[in-house]
Structure 1
Amino acid sequence: MTIGSAATAACHQEMVALEDVSYSFGSQQVLSGVSFLAQERDFIGLIGSNGAGKTTLLRLIVGLLKPQQGQIRLFGTPIERFKEWNRIGYVPQRNHFNPLFPATVREVVLSGLYGRSKLFKRVTKEDAARGEDAMKTLKIADLADKRIGALSGGQQQRVFLARALINNPKLLILDEPMSGIDPETQANFFHLLRHMHQHHNITFLMVSHDMEMVRSYLGERPKTASGKLAFHVRHSHDLEDCRETDLLHTLRKEG
């Protein structure tokens, strides 16, 4: 295998595989036989009508729900055996967040380091420095000591993104990240996501109702559809960037 073909193969590793995945809430069938493959450095826009199961699918992928039928693989490993959750960043919908939650921006960002097996992990000097770096990268360092509930919608989304990025994930999952924020902030936020996709070894799976914004970057026609869900996909082909990098430092330098 030549160097070029090896690089190409490395950039097309399996990140998320869905095979015949179904899920119901009681008698209500939400997902039925959904299949899809996300490869390394894909940017996937997941589009569907209300009730199509978009959020349910994301919650299945991040392990908050278990599929009732079918299989999910993460990085080639069946989800029931997957342990490396630090490789995945997750930004849930803002309407799942309690604005009265008594935490500062710094505390919310640092919570991204704790992981599922380190819920009560003591924050080290290295952790604290990484938290400061994440806040500087997302331009929220001046908000570090403010309560998260006191921030605007756009500021909150930057906090949640900093929390998701603090572990330098290889897969970033975003559920309606631009919902409820003004058009200018949406455009700036989406510009940041595009930059990350084009210049860093990271795969995106994003749910959005903003058809125009998704299609402007990912194309008019979905790559595939499964059930009521449509998957718009754009792959980043920049092989010279297909390497291990510290996302936070690189983003701050380039952004």
Structure 2
Amino acid sequence: MEISPKEFCHRSIVSIENVSFSYEHKKVIDQLRFDVLERDFVGVIGSNGAGKTTLLKMLVGLLKPTDGEIRLFDSPLSQFKDWERIGYVPQKNAFNPLFPATVREIVLSGMYSKKRIYRRLSKADLQKAEDAMLAMRIEDLADRKIGQLSGGQQQRAFLARAIVNNPELLILDEPTVGIDAETQTGFFRMIRHMHQHHHMTFIMVSHDMDMMQSYLGTEPQQVSGGIKFHVKHTHDPEDCRETNLTHSIGQIREMIGVQ
């Protein structure tokens, strides 16, 4: 049976069913129910301690819910294996600055999964990493150790890593913290383009209320405890002639005026 574009774009990417989480008997998230559909852009907003980062960590398997179930691409989180379909940028303070890897190695690591770990990267793979670094304006830092970079430079490297594999779901936890205002603006424009014209779904935590609400609206779709979910649906068929990664990340160079 053929699935129409409309039906396809209403598939559930993330399903959160009655999920709770507690730290040392202190409940941070309580009976959360929320669905993220294909090509949604979900902005997660709330005060410190509301559970935003905890929620994202549960979505990528770093934390286990105290109660309830999370499903990714219609698969229970405990059984989910296709992690290359997901890009994740954690908060900057989650990174160990002593990790002995170069920027290029960090970006290339975004292309590995358990399925691909023993397969050599192709020339096309290597070029995607170069393009990602170029888009984030860190190509001149490719051979520097990640721990030698400034906080903003490190975050650019992890942004490049998250988008290098052209994921279907991009999960971002304060992705622009420590990045200069010009690059922040270019980054938001890039992800808006990717959301509107490409096959990608976004979940992003950000304290930049003006930037988030200018795209997602001022009224949340749902409020759970101290967390507000602002959602923009883009379920029309993609309209970009170019769908490859180079085109997508290349948008940022035009938008921030890099030649």
Considering the TM-score relative to the shorter chain, is it more than 0.5?
yes
CA RMSD of aligned residues (A): 2.5
AA matched with 1:42:
D
Give 1:93-132 correspondences, 5 Å limit. 93-116=91-114, 122-132=120-130
Contact 1:30 1:52 in 2 (8 A): yes
For 1:241, what is the secondary structure of its paired residue?
coil
Contact 2:190 2:251 in 1 (8 A): no
Residue 85 (structure 1) aligned to one of 78, 83, 86: 83
CA drift of 1:132 comes to: 1.9
For 1:113, what is the secondary structure of its paired residue?
coil
2:204 aligned partner: 206
Contact 1:133 1:248 in 2 (8 A): yes
CA drift of 1:157 comes to: 2.3
AA matched with 2:31:
G
2:27 aligned partner: 29
**1:158 is the counterpart of 2:156:** yes
AA matched with 1:189:
F
Give 1:1-255 correspondences, 5 Å limit. 6-116=4-114, 122-241=120-239, 245-252=243-250, 255=254
Change (3 A) 1:236 1:122: same
CA drift of 1:242 comes to: 8.4
CA drift of 1:166 comes to: 1.9
Contact 2:6 2:236 in 1 (8 A): no
CA drift of 1:244 comes to: 9.8
CA drift of 1:191 comes to: 1.8
- Calculate the TM-score normalised by the size of structure 1: 0.89
CA drift of 1:124 comes to: 4.7
CA drift of 1:131 comes to: 1.9
Contact 1:201 1:241 in 2 (8 A): no
AA matched with 2:23:
F
Change (3 A) 1:242 1:232: farther
Contact 2:174 2:204 in 1 (8 A): yes
- Calculate the TM-score normalised by the size of structure 2: 0.88
AA matched with 2:188:
F
Tell me how far apart the structure 1 counterparts of residues 45 and 156 of structure 2 sit (CA, whole Å). 22
Unaligned runs of 5+ in 2: 255-259
CA drift of 1:183 comes to: 2.8
